[in-house]
Structure 1
Amino acid sequence: MSVLIEVASARLLEDEGTLRVCGKVNFEGAAEMAEAGREWLEERTPGSPVCLDLSEVEHVSSAALTMMLEWARTMRRAGLSLNSIKLSPPLWQLTELAGLDDLLPSTCARA
């Protein structure tokens, strides 16, 4: 596991095909995390399976949703296969509140 970026009180890690987010994802640093994740995704081989693990996200804002949507667009453009998404309870709640839960794949799980 290696740290891709650490901003404010959040970290973005990569671990064998998994992008893992830990900490508080808010407007301070979310754009940098989205960019670092996008770059990592673009380096993957087309068809590669990818997992998103946001189960350790403690505090969220709409910036976290924007970051996830950016990664989803990048995965589609890069031809990557989304294996699973794990969301923390606060992120799941925000996703439902925003009406985005219907857009999540069936592999999405609450942490």
Structure 2
Amino acid sequence: MTLLLSQSQVSLKVEQGTLYVAGDAGMATAAELAAVGSKWLKATELNAVALDFSGVQKASSAVVSVLFEWLRTCQACEITVSGVMLSAPLERLAALSEVEALIHSPTLAR
């Protein structure tokens, strides 16, 4: 496991091709979280990654924005997204905002 970001409210680590987000990432931490994850994605030599947000227990549109930023980065770097895992609060937010189809789209895996 490699710790990429550790703040009082949020952490980002990578293990076996999966980016793990944990904590309560809000507006104050979203930009740095997105930047650190995108930097890692651009530097990795992996062809496939998974994005795990199951450790985020507070629904936040800022976290969903981070997810979409990473999905765009993966697409630009031709990295297959093998899976996206969301916590129950984030699943509810995705459903309410009608973006769950974009998140769990079968076209994510290239």
Same fold (TM > 0.5) = yes
Q: Can you give the 5+ residue segments of structure 1 that lack an aligned partner in the other structure?
A: none
Q: Tell me how far apart the structure 2 counterparts of residues 13 and 60 of structure 1 sit (CA, whole Å).
A: 20
Q: Tell me how far apart the structure 2 counterparts of residues 89 and 51 of structure 1 sit (CA, whole Å).
A: 18
* Aligned counterpart, 1:60: 59
* Aligned counterpart, 1:18: 18
DSSP-derived class of the 2:56 partner: strand
Instruction: After TM superposition, list the pairs within 5 Å mapping 1:12-91 onto structure 2.
Output: 12-45=12-45, 48-91=47-90
Alpha-carbon contact 1:45-1:80 (below 8 Å) kept? no
C-alpha distance after superposition, 1:19-50 (max 9, x if no partner): 0000111111111000000001001236x110
* Aligned counterpart, 2:4: 4
Alpha-carbon contact 1:8-1:29 (below 8 Å) kept? no
Q: Tell me how far apart the structure 2 counterparts of residues 30 and 7 of structure 1 sit (CA, whole Å).
A: 11
Q: Tell me how far apart the structure 2 counterparts of residues 16 and 102 of structure 1 sit (CA, whole Å).
A: 26
Q: Tell me how far apart the structure 2 counterparts of residues 28 and 73 of structure 1 sit (CA, whole Å).
A: 21
The runs of at least 4 consecutive aligned structure 1 residues that moved more than 3 Å come to none
Q: Tell me how far apart the structure 2 counterparts of residues 103 and 80 of structure 1 sit (CA, whole Å).
A: 17
RMSD: 1.4
Normalising to structure 1: TM-score of the pair? 0.89
DSSP-derived class of the 2:36 partner: helix
Q: Can you give the 5+ residue segments of structure 2 that lack an aligned partner in the other structure?
A: none
